[in-house]
Every structure is written in structure tokens, then in C-alpha cells.
Amino acid sequence: MNIFTFQDLLELYPYRHVDRTKISRIREIDQQTEYIQVAGRLISKDIVGDKRARRLVAQLRDVSGTLELVWFQGIHGVQKLLQVGQEYLVFGRTGFYLGSPQITHPEIEPYAGATPEGRNFLEPVYPSTEKLKQRGMGGRQIGKLTQTLLGMLKERDLPENLPPQILQALSLMPRYAAFRQIHFPAQPAEYAKALSRLKFEELFLAQLRMGLIKSQRHRSSQGVVFGQVGELFNRFYSRHLPFELTGAQKRVLKEIRRDTGSGRQMNRLLQGDVGSGKTIVALLAMLLAVDNGFQACIVAPTEILARQHFLAISELVKGMPLEVGLLTGSSRSRERKKTLGSAASGELHILVGTHAILEDPVLFHRLGLAIIDEQHRFGVAQRASLWKKGAQGLSGIIPPHVLVMTATPIPRTLAMTAYGDLDYSVMDELPPGRQPIGTVHRYEDKRPQVMDFIRHELSKGRQAYIIFPLIEESETLDYENLIKGYENVKAWFPEPKYWISRVDGRQPAGERETNMSRFLSGDTQIMVATTVIEVGVNVPNASVMVVESAEKFGLSQLHQLRGRVGRGAEKSFCILLTGRKLNKDARERINTLCATNDGFKIAEKDLEIRGPGDIEGTRQSGMLNFKLASIVQDRALLERARDMAESILDKDPELRAEDNKGLRTFLMLQKGKTQWSKIS
Ligand code: ADP
Ligand code: MG
């Protein structure tokens, strides 16, 4: 159970408490009952079943009814101990078998009319494992160990680690008392106070650690300086920018300029909703780098997206003295060689590409800014490979500034915990004139009407996406469905004026590219695709998206997919097709999507439905492994913890003040526990 030290044992918290002074009636047991203590007379005991299914079954009767007690292990020993006709006190976890209540492997002892001395009014129940239980180390025994340990511990063994002003401000229970009360509370109210104290401590320390890493990085990491806004930036801004920037875009650009001008390395996460206009922000930031004599690169998650960025950027900067190159896994070797050469010589200003950019052979002359698009998962190793590509300074290589742009918003609480050591910008404003996408749910038998609706939109000159799931576990079947679906769509649209692109991950790259670009240019009106188009694809003329088997997609994924429409001025629509049978979670996902277009709200809902462990990219972050706190339920506490950690570090960045000594000592002692990396 990962218990190696006394501290580990102390932090194995009971998952509930039960009242062991109370004796219930057998009749009270219902499906909701979990643990119960009853007293009654043993009226039978029999060993039944053969060999592997052999078990001891006993009947206990009180004035209200009969309860079955079952043992699978130690059958003969127990049978010898139990006497029919004797009164027993029984405690355990209840279940139902063929409609009658039973307890498997109960705690049982002779009963003399009163609960024995020393029983707790709130007795802790601890988790254990089957294996441990078989060796006599069940939850009860663990509780005994904990009780013994607590008996040995003095106040100085569990010194206070939170500063007095925090304890006071939040009227928190002292640490020593909290550890006692969370295990063996005197009253439910004491338990609640102990729980909230220890939850706060958990969240606060995590925030403090991240704050320390961040401030350390700010102090120590040297970065290249973009000191001026130059010719290219200004020229682009005044002559090439096709629209007015939104307030949010301007704010983020200011933040980037401040960071990159500061002399320290920027490590910034840019959160923006689908369609909020991150690309143009990225381009302006890259122009800033080039103006200051550096190169910049933008890394996209897919080849389609890299190519699209390349084309869009080339178009936007047309006529400017700027070399833009493209590098992907499938770049031809001659092209590739040329691109690599000009990146290394410094001739190339902006390199657009896939993760191929991060590979070793790609060398830059002076890389000053790396942008990672549509991705919040960006691993340590990948970051490290970027660092090596920086510019030569006086004392070694200076790493480039890094801007990571998310694909969809991340819930605030998650960003605070999992990415709290990054600087962080939010773009929560869409460009003006966007109409919310009308999203509806339809059952699959309405497909004919849906197809008619598509035809109606096409007749107005619009384009449409039809998306099929392609899930790893059922890949072959899904693929067949996609092909079938494609044939069906062809049959629905026999008119010679309508052309259909099919894009999926199994096609040869060349075929995929061709189909993609035909849709981009409007030569085809319908695209039948899998989620390869999930992120980033920008075809403003597309106004309808139909998602087949929408119940198979996750919430953020659906939001991201839907973001492929509604990118122009026209009203757009998203139709979620499902079968009639939907489970609760799927229905909730679909309803959420129909109800809102706000990616930030959707992200919160996603976290609520799935829990933090399942949100992409956070599983290994290790920062979400709280023992007590939950970033979903304890959101308010988390925000307080963050504010308090910030205000302490503001005043005392190295925790040298007398009041913060407890914290400092504690963090030093804990250091080995968490592996922090300078490159986070
Ligand atoms: P995302 O944030 O999802 O990557 P994009 O950068 O692809 O979004 O932008 C979505 C669309 O919005 C593009 O067609 C882009 O040209 C347009 N756009 C971006 N910023 C603005 C703006 N300030 N005003 C109008 N249109 C904008
Ligand atoms: Mg984008």
C-alpha cells in the first residue's frame, strides 16, 4: 500500500467513520447501508458447497429479522468458535445475496447486553487489500497501528508548518490536533475541522512549491531579450493585419512582450477557446523575435495543421522580407535539406512544422522563440530538446522563449495545480461578429432530415463536415463504419456539382493532403473525416458539422471538433447524431454541448464528469495526487490556498521570515518526495 514510514501510515486516512457504540436492528439494513453493527442470537451454522465454493454460513437473529453471515476463509476455526444459541455482537459491511442481507467475514464477538468498553463513537474505517486481509492485516488492524502510533507521537513530532497568520485567518486546527482528529475524532465537527485543515495544507504546500519553482526560474533563467518592437512587426500591424485585434489578443501580446523583453526566459501557457484567434498572436510574437535578430518556430500537432499554418502565414506576410519554411515528417529530402540548411545559416526567419522540428538534425542559427500550437501536453523531454536549440550566448546556449498554446481550455483549477509553475495567459474573448454555433442532438433515424439540411446549406454555397469516430479499441469496426458512411454520403449527394473529400489517418499522406486541400480551396463541398481534423483546421466557409456516434466522443473533443465551424460570419450548425440508447455521462456531455459554446464552461463540466485523473495529459503530472483534497470539490479552498501562497511568496520569496520558518523547514524535509525539474 506504499506505506514505508510512520508518516505514510499517518497519511493513510480513514475513508469513513462508523459509530461503534450504536447497535442497529437487522431490519434497518437496506441497499444504502454500508457498515452496520447488530446484536442477536446465532441460530444456525453450516459448512456448505464443495471444494472451491466451500463456505461457512451462519444465521443471526434479532427481534427484527435474520441476517446471514458468511466466511470463505478460516472456515473450520470460525465454526469451532461459534456456538448456536449464543448471543453475538456483529459488525461488518453489508451486502445482499438473492434478496436477503448478509455480511461476509464480519467482526464477531460474544455479546453480554452492552457494547464493550473502549468502542468509539466514531471509529475509523481504513482501506486494505485482499492480500493484506488474508495475512491478518485488514482495515481494523491498520487502525490499531495508527492508534498506537498516535499514542507515541508528541506535539513536537508533528510540528506546525503553517504560518500563524494563515492559521488565524482561516481559523485552522493546529497540525498535531488535526492528525489525531482526522483518525479518531471526538465529534463530527472536530473531524470536519481536521479534514479541512489537512486539505488546505495539501493544496497550500503544492501551490507554494510551484510558486517557488516559478520564482526561482524567474530569477535564474536567462533569456534572450526582444528589446524593441521593430520594422516587421509595425509594418505587419499597420498594413497586413486583416482585422482589428480583440482586447484579449492585445493583452496577451503585451504579456508576451513584457516577458520576452525582461531578460529572463518566457515559459508561458496561452489558454484560448477554440476560434479565439491564437494563430495571429503567434505570428505577431514571431515577428517580434525576427525584428530582434532571432529566428522563431511554430510546432503543430499534425501535418495537416502545419501545412495550413505555413500557407496562412505565407499568405499573411506576402511581400514582406521574410523567409518562411515548412518542415514535416514527409518533407521531400531535397526540400528538407534546403530548409535545414537555411535554418542553420540563419537565412530562414520562421520555421513552421510538426514535431519533426524538435528532432536532433534540426539546428537553428539563433532560435529565440518556439511556439507549440494546439497542445497543452508538452513533455519535459520535448522541452529539453528545444532548449538545446537556443542561441549562443556569452556563457553557453540561451534557451528560446517558449509559448505553449492549448487546443481547448483547461479548467482553471486544473491549470492552477498541474501547470501552476508556468506563466499563464487567457484569451476569453472571441473575435467580434461571431455567431454562436447552433448545436442540436438528433437520433440516427433522423439522418435523412439531417442530410437534407446539409443540402440546404450547400445550396447557399457553404461547406460541411461529417465526422466519424475512430477509437483505438474498436478501430477496425470504426474504420468500416467510416467507409460505409462515406459510401452513404456519396449516395445521398448524387448531384454532379457536389464533391466529397475523405480524410482519415489510414490514407497515404499524399492522398490525405490532396483531399484536405481540395476542401480548403472549396473544390469539394463535403468532408467525411475522422478526428484527424480535430484541431486547428480553419475553413471559415464551412457552416455545418455532423458528428456521427457523438456519444463516443469526449466533451472537450466534441467542443474542439465543433470549433471547425462557426469560424466565419455565417451562422453555423453542429448536429450530434447518436443512437437511442445513451448512458448518463454521454447524455450529460451531449446536453452540455447543446447548452453552451463557452469552452471554459465546458472544460469545467468535463472535469466534473470525468474527474481530474482522466483529463488528458495530467495523469503523470503527479501534482494532482492529493490524498485528501479534490480539485473539483475543493475549488474554493484551492483558490484560497493559491492566493495565500502567492501573497506569502510576494513578501518573502525565499521563506526567510521568522513566521515562515516552519514552512521552510517542512519543505526542505519533503524535498526528496517530489521530483521537480527546472524544465517543467
Ligand atoms: P484558434 O485560437 O482556434 O487557433 P485561429 O487562430 O485559427 O483560432 O482563428 C480563428 C479564425 O478567426 C481565423 O479565421 C482568424 O483569421 C480569425 N481571427 C482571428 N483573430 C481575429 C480578429 N481579431 N478579428 C476577426 N477575425 C479574427
Ligand atoms: Mg489554432
- Does 616 score more than 70 pLDDT? no
Atom of ligand 1 nearest to the CA of 243: 24
Residue nearest ligand 1's atom 19 by CA? 277
Query: DSSP letter string over 538-557?
Result: --TTEEEEEETTGGGS-HHH
Q: Do residues 629 and 408 touch, judged by C-beta distance below 8 A?
A: no
Band (233; pLDDT cuts 50, 70, 90):
very high
- With 0-12 / 13-18 / 19 or more C-beta atoms within 10 angstroms meaning exposed / middle / buried, residue 238 is exposed
Name the CATH superfamily, with its identifier, for domain 231-427: P-loop containing nucleotide triphosphate hydrolases (3.40.50.300)
Average pLDDT over residues 263-270: 89
Average pLDDT over residues 317-327: 95
pLDDT given at position 376 = 65
Of residues 415 and 75, more confidence is placed in 75
Q: How many CB atoms lie within 10 A of CB 182?
A: 25
Q: In this structure, what C-alpha cell is assigned to residue 390?
A: 537556443
pLDDT given at position 675 = 41
CATH 3.40.50.300 placement within the chain? 231-427, 438-596
Average pLDDT over residues 48-62: 91
Atom of ligand 1 nearest to the CA of 272: 2
Q: In 265-416, which ranges are E strands?
A: 267-272, 295-299, 324-327, 350-353, 367-372, 391-393, 396-398, 401-405
Residue nearest ligand 1's atom 9 by CA? 277
**Cβ-proximal residues to 413 (8 Å cutoff; 6+ apart), any chain:** 607, 631, 632, 635, 638, 639
Length of the chain, please? 680
Residues 517-561 pLDDT 10s: 899 899 999 999 988 776 778 899 999 999 999 999 989 889 989
Band (612; pLDDT cuts 50, 70, 90):
low
Distance of alpha carbon 188 from alpha carbon 183, whole angstroms: 11
pLDDT given at position 347 = 96
pLDDT given at position 621 = 47
Instruction: Say which ligand is closest to the CA of 273.
Output: 1
C-alpha of residue 299 to centroid of ligand 2, in Å: 11
Distance of alpha carbon 174 from alpha carbon 171, whole angstroms: 9
**Which residues sit with their C-beta closer than 6 Å to ligand 1?**
243, 245-246, 249, 272, 274-280, 431, 536, 538, 540, 567
Q: Give the percent of the chain with pLDDT over 70.
A: 94
Q: Do residues 388 and 368 touch, judged by C-beta distance below 8 A?
A: no
Instruction: Say which ligand is closest to the CA of 272.
Output: 1
Minimum mean pLDDT range among 340-349, 367-376, 442-451, 571-580: 367-376
Residue nearest ligand 1's atom 12 by CA? 277
Minimum mean pLDDT range among 17-21, 534-538, 541-545, 592-596: 534-538
Minimum mean pLDDT range among 187-196, 279-288, 301-310: 301-310
pLDDT given at position 377 = 63
Q: Which CATH number fits domain 438-596: 3.30.70.260, 3.40.50.300, 1.10.3720.10, 1.20.140.10?
A: 3.40.50.300
- Does 461 score more than 80 pLDDT? yes
Residue nearest ligand 1's atom 1 by CA? 275
Q: Do residues 503 and 516 touch, judged by C-beta distance below 8 A?
A: yes
Residues 362-394 pLDDT 10s: 889 999 999 999 876 666 667 777 777 877 776
CATH 2.40.50.140 placement within the chain? 6-152
- Does 469 score more than 80 pLDDT? yes
The amino acid sitting at 438 is G
C-alpha of residue 311 to centroid of ligand 1, in Å: 15
Query: Candidates 302, 520, 538, 572: which one to mutate for ligand 1, based on the most atoms within 8 Å of Cβ?
Result: 538
Distance of alpha carbon 39 from alpha carbon 61, whole angstroms: 8
Average pLDDT over residues 65-86: 92
C-alpha of residue 239 to centroid of ligand 2, in Å: 23
pLDDT given at position 618 = 46
Average pLDDT, the chain: 88
pLDDT given at position 39 = 95
Find the helix packing angle between 188-220 and 635-651, rounded to 10°: 50
Average pLDDT over residues 30-51: 91
Band (34; pLDDT cuts 50, 70, 90):
confident
At the top level of CATH, which class does the domain 6-152 belong to?
A: mainly beta
Distance of alpha carbon 118 from alpha carbon 120, whole angstroms: 6
Residues 81-121 pLDDT 10s: 999 999 999 999 899 988 889 999 898 999 988 877 777 78
pLDDT given at position 74 = 84
C-alpha of residue 151 to centroid of ligand 1, in Å: 63
CA 322 to chain centre: 38
Tell me the pTM.
0.76
Residues 324-353 pLDDT 10s: 999 998 888 899 999 999 999 999 999 999
- Does 191 score more than 70 pLDDT? yes
C-alpha of residue 606 to centroid of ligand 1, in Å: 25
Instruction: Say which ligand is closest to the CA of 569.
Output: 1
Minimum mean pLDDT range among 116-125, 298-307, 667-676: 667-676
Nearest to 561 by CA among 538, 533, 581, 597: 533
Q: How many CB atoms lie within 10 A of CB 571?
A: 15
Residue nearest ligand 1's atom 20 by CA? 277
State whether the Cα torsion 518-519-522-526 is positive or negative.
positive
C-alpha of residue 640 to centroid of ligand 1, in Å: 35
Q: Do residues 320 and 240 touch, judged by C-beta distance below 8 A?
A: yes
Residues 489-513 pLDDT 10s: 999 999 989 999 998 878 887 888 8
- With 0-12 / 13-18 / 19 or more C-beta atoms within 10 angstroms meaning exposed / middle / buried, residue 245 is middle
Band (413; pLDDT cuts 50, 70, 90):
confident
Band (619; pLDDT cuts 50, 70, 90):
very low
- With 0-12 / 13-18 / 19 or more C-beta atoms within 10 angstroms meaning exposed / middle / buried, residue 166 is buried
Band (424; pLDDT cuts 50, 70, 90):
confident
C-alpha of residue 279 to centroid of ligand 1, in Å: 7
